[in-house]
Amino acid sequence: MGAFGDAIRVMNATEVREAIAKMGDAFDALIINAGSGNAEIVVARGNFPSLLDKLNAMKTGTPKATYNTLEELQTAHPTYDENIYLVKDENDIGYIYDWNGTTWFNTGIQYLSDGIAKGSISLDLLSTALFNSNTHSWLKASFSNARSFENAYQMRFTFTIPAGITLNTITAKIKFKTGSSNITQARMKVQVGTNPVSQYLTTPSYTTITPNTETQLEVTRSNNDTGFTTIVAYIYGYGSNIALPAMYETAELELYINGNKVDYTAVLDEAFSQVDATCTFNYSDAKIALISDIESANSELQNGINTINGNIDNINDSLSQSIKAKNVGGYKASFSNGRSFENSYPLKFACSNISGTYTTIEFKVKVTSQSDNLYRGHVKIYFGSPTSSDFAVGEYIPLVPGQEVTLSVTATRTNIQTVYVYIFLEGTNIALESEYTFKDLKILRNGVEDDTITLTNDPTYGSTDITSLTITENEQYVLAKNNGDPLNLAIDQEVAEVKERIISPLQGKKINALGDSYFAGHTLGQTVTWVYKLAAKYNMTLNNYGINGNKMTGVGGIADRFGTMNDDADYILVDGGRNDYLAGVPIGTNADTTIDTFKGALNVLCQGLIDKYIGKKIIFVTCWNVNDDMMAYSDAMLETCGRWSIKCIDASRDSGVYMRSLAFRTQYCINQDDVSHLNGIGHDYVLPFFESQISSN
């Protein structure tokens, strides 16, 4: 049985191997203590003094009742009553409980079960203990000889940690075993930084090693170290004769910072073991991924499985219906030539059924150029008559072949029921054939889309100049159902979006959003904000801590209340600065450490978030581009975050939000005089930018 236990120890997952090995050792002890002839009797009688006692206590029949927990059974039957009962475990599996003379105990027998059904255990039911949560499973190092320095057979691992952590205590642990009688002692050392001088290195005493016996090595450093992003763990096997070859194995390297186990990856420095010796490495078990990698892969896999298994026929049918109802593919307009008027390839639509009251009206459409000849486009809206002098013109938008853009125009008018809208795409040479696709033509009253409004194309518009114009439904892909009928599928763009959601690192994560009205949504509420829409897109759990008018500074400010946030978050987003600017809060200096100045509050917040969310994604967002004075607060945030090695998204320069433009505010803000708050269209506009910035972090 000792050999059986040793053989089991070469299985893969460490905990499973050791558990079975201990079972083998237990059988060894059983045979030694009871004699091989009596071993079966010892096992059979279990917790009873003799086999006769057990036989007398055995019962027949089925369990008298079922309980959800052992506590429920003990409450209902505190003493022996000659029955057996069924108690469910956390996985809803029922086990028979019997009385052993003093209390109810689990017999280990599943009621009406003959074993584990094939395929009945899913990934989420497996214990994470099956997966090595740190660097490696058993790693074997074989040395030709030892170094004269400490007579050592040596190994070194390097951890990279985030900046800004105060290392009050560091503890490193590793399992060690050797079959070489030359190695009689071993120890670990731990070092902060990359300079192996004594002030940065902690060296404990050697631990005596017994060949072929697993030993836990451990070292703790308590020095309140600051300013380090590297932790180094050394393993030294002491050899009584350094000329002899030797081998040892290590497993389950663990790192604890300030008493908390962390999952930073450790990198083996193979060159270090080659100093004054030849060393080869191999894994006696299959190398096992980090638990974070497993969780991420499981999340991606499960989302992919859900997508695939979600009744494919029903999904395709609903996609087909969606395409037919909303015409996802849109239409293609093919022109033989253009018009000299605006060098354009134009389309005209009439709308005569606008009902209800409104004070603003908007027309927008998505277009995609299919020709190099088309280089820019815009839209117009005429009120009452196509020849009316009352009209509004949208801004020109550059065109790139194959890239979809939105053309729009917004005007302040009151309750006009008939309008005419025009699409003008300009060409460099109107004698050339050109074509473009268009879709999602929409009329919005007071910023709200009205699905009851219809737009009718005028096929005669431009016919005096254009030889021919054809409008066709844009091509869509089809697939035959089992019965042979065609089945519409999503267009390539939608397929790409589904794939993106499945493989995105954001999928299913938890996100905390801490800030001001940028996250709170001002008068529109949180559900309009880009951060809410990002979370919804990737099935994220969002905790939104945005408060209208909140400053970064002062009591109750962002830097003062971060500690109230949920501790369990994968991403932490922070915005602020606009209200500090409005309140005239001084920016301060890099040395400030109080919440009275903007930089001081940022320093407090950065330090606090790093300590609170070790190893998580922390991302700051500057305020919009409003004026030069406010840009100083954006620059202060960028500089301070850089000093703390925290990512900061420069929304003032890179987001496309330019609050100095009246035309931009009219289109994308709650009103044209609001230089702070985006409307729903504005949040949709910035969503792809922030999505790209956050998912690439």
Chain centroid to CA 34:
56
**Separation of alpha carbons 495 and 476, rounded Å:** 12
Fold (CATH) for 329-473: Jelly Rolls (2.60.120)
DSSP 89-112: -TTS-EEEEEE-SSSEEEEEEETT
Task: Tell me: pLDDT of 310 over 80.
Answer: no
CB 313 within 8 A of CB 414: no
Instruction: Answer for the pair 265, 121: CB distance below 8 angstroms, yes or no.
Output: no
What is the token pair recorded at 111?
């009621």
**pLDDT tens sequence across 615-666:** 899 999 999 999 999 999 999 999 999 999 999 999 999 999 999 999 999 9
Domain boundaries defined on the chain? 1-45, 60-114, 130-288, 294-318, 329-473, 504-695
Is 640 exposed, middle or buried, given 0-12, 13-18 or 19+ CB atoms closer than 10 A?
buried
- Name which of 602, 582, 584, 585 is nearest 593 in CA terms: 602
- Residue 284 DSSP symbol: S
CA angle 285/288/293 to nearest 5° reads 175
Question: What's residue 42's pLDDT?
Answer: 54
Give the pair of three-digit tokens for residue 623: 């305020």
DSSP-derived 3-state class of residue 325: helix
CA distance 206 to 538: 51
pLDDT at 100: 81
> Does the structural domain 130-288 have CATH classification 2.60.40?
no
The pair of three-digit structure tokens given for residue 370, joined into one six-digit string: 């299919």
Averaged pLDDT, 16-41: 50
For 448-470, what is each residue's pLDDT tens digit? 988 788 888 898 898 889 999 98
User: What does the alpha-carbon distance between residue 132 and residue 547 come to, in Å, rounded to a whole number?
Assistant: 42
Among 379, 445, 455, which Cα is nearest to 413's?
445
3-state secondary structure 335-395: ECCCECHHHEEEEEEEECCCCCCCCEEEEEEEEEECCCCEEEEEEEEEECCCCCCCEEECC
* Res 494: pLDDT: 55
Q: Indicate the pTM of the whole model.
A: 0.37
- pLDDT class of 85 with cuts at 50, 70, 90: confident
Dump pLDDT digits (tens) for 252-274.
899 999 999 998 888 899 889 88
Q: How far apart are the first and last CA of the chain?
A: 52
Of the two residues 303 and 518, the one the predictor is more confident about is 518
Return the bridge partners of 619, or none: 573, 647
325: confidence class by pLDDT, cuts 50, 70, 90: very low
pLDDT value at position 84? 87
Q: What is the rounded distance in angstroms from the CA atom of residue 382 to the CA atom of residue 419?
A: 6
Q: How far is CA 675 from the centre of its chain?
A: 32
| Structure confidence at residue 451 (pLDDT) | 78
Answer CATH for 504-695 from 3.30.70.870, 3.40.50.1110, 3.40.50.11890, 3.90.1640.10: 3.40.50.1110
Predicted pLDDT at 322: 39
Equal CATH topology for 130-288 and 504-695: no
pLDDT above 50 (res 321): no
155 or 36, greater pLDDT: 155
- Look at residue 336 in the predicted model and tell me its pLDDT: 94
pLDDT reading at 417 higher than 70: yes
Question: What does the alpha-carbon distance between residue 82 and residue 59 come to, in Å, rounded to a whole number?
Answer: 8
